[in-house]
Amino acid sequence: MSLESYKKALFQKDNYQIPFYLKEKHIPCLDGLRALAIIFVILSHIAFNFSNKFFLKLELGSFGVNIFFVISGFLITSLLLKEQVTKGSVSFRSFYIRRALRILPVAYLFIFVLIILNYLYKLNLSSIDFLRTAFFCENFVGHPKFVPNGHFWSLSTEEQFYLLFPIFLVKDSNFFFKLSFLLFLFAPLIIYSYYHINTNFYLINYILFFLDGIFANGMLTILIGCISAVLFFRFPNQLNRKFNNAGLLQFLLLVIAWCASHCILPIGLHLTISSFFIAAFVISLITNKNTVWYKILNYKPVKYIGILSYSLYIWQQIFTFNQPWASSSMPGTSIALNTSLLIIVAMLSYHGYEKQFLKLKSRFTRVK
């Protein structure tokens, strides 16, 4: 295809084709990739609690969250585009109901439990802290993320992203791509300004803080996952190519993605570059099934961890570091015991509580 042909295909409305590898009801291997991401996050948080310099330097937590963001953008966009192709339209009502049934039940259960823990163990969380968490505004607060509700910054980022971007994508793809280009162009500059410019003007500092709360905390990363899915649907034949030594390619993509997230480029820019390589890894993984990586991530125990990944992420904050009961006669800071408790709580949460809402969520799924 010529450059002009690519441009026409990219911006032509409704020019979507469901790639062969995405025609299955459940996209293979993404659960396994979620398992890798949540393991990274948990290891990073445990390392923080015990001041393990080796694991802290690896910054696996940030890398794991970026993997979650890219998967989220890729998967949700793929589902929206499949609905657009097969049904001729997208039901935003059903989309937002599905999002609510997946995210809110366990999130609010966690908040309820945290209120009880706050009362019992004097965690010094105020009513404002709980309201901010409940309304998913945690990414606009300048406190450390290592507090019991600090991990809601990532959920806040996702929920804010999905309020508008699906509508832009489905209703006007031209505007979506133009807006995406502007974000890629200016967001790194905004993030760099926030971290390196400190003026005496309160309004400017506040504006930079607000913009950083949007861009630095993952929206660009989700957008990269989103765009990679759009490109997959726009150019399925070009991206469905098989590679010799694909397993080696996948390994290199993941290593480069991790290295890029630690390079000396300004913050924001290096995370964006890292996310592009994560997205490339996702596409390579989906289109090359005869690789070691694909087999590992589709191994049943690994996939099961991925299925539990959201539950694990929600509950891990009170088990991995700064445990409310650390100074009592209860489990304290024992890694083995707290990790075991985390797994048990996540399993109970998923099988005994979340599954009921997932069954209800399936009623609003238009694409089988």
Examine residue 14 and state whether it is found in any structural domain, yes or no: no
Phi-psi region of 128 (alpha: psi -120 to 50; beta: other; left: phi over 0): alpha
Q: Give yes or no for a contact between 123 and 324, defined as CB atoms under 8 angstroms apart.
A: yes
Examine residue 123 and state whether it is found in any structural domain, yes or no: yes
User: What number of other Cβ atoms are within 10 A of residue 349's Cβ?
Assistant: 22
Examine residue 209 and state whether it is found in any structural domain, yes or no: yes
Examine residue 36 and state whether it is found in any structural domain, yes or no: yes
Q: Which domain holds residue 59?
A: 27-362
Phi-psi region of 266 (alpha: psi -120 to 50; beta: other; left: phi over 0): beta
Examine residue 206 and state whether it is found in any structural domain, yes or no: yes
Q: Give yes or no for a contact between 215 and 209, defined as CB atoms under 8 angstroms apart.
A: no
Examine residue 95 and state whether it is found in any structural domain, yes or no: yes
Tally of helices (H runs) and strands (E runs) in the chain = 18, 0
Cα torsion through 128, 133, 139, 144, rounded to 10: 70
Domain count, the chain: 1
Examine residue 325 and state whether it is found in any structural domain, yes or no: yes
Global pTM reads: 0.91
Examine residue 2 and state whether it is found in any structural domain, yes or no: no
pLDDT (tens place) for every residue of the chain, 368 residues total: 554 555 555 555 566 788 888 888 788 789 999 999 999 999 988 888 777 777 777 788 889 999 999 999 999 999 999 998 888 889 999 999 999 999 999 999 999 999 999 999 888 899 999 999 999 988 877 655 568 898 999 999 999 999 888 888 888 877 888 888 888 777 777 777 766 676 666 666 666 766 666 666 688 899 999 999 988 888 876 665 666 688 888 999 999 999 888 776 666 678 788 999 999 999 999 988 889 999 999 999 999 999 999 999 999 999 987 788 876 655 567 888 889 999 999 999 999 999 999 999 988 887 76
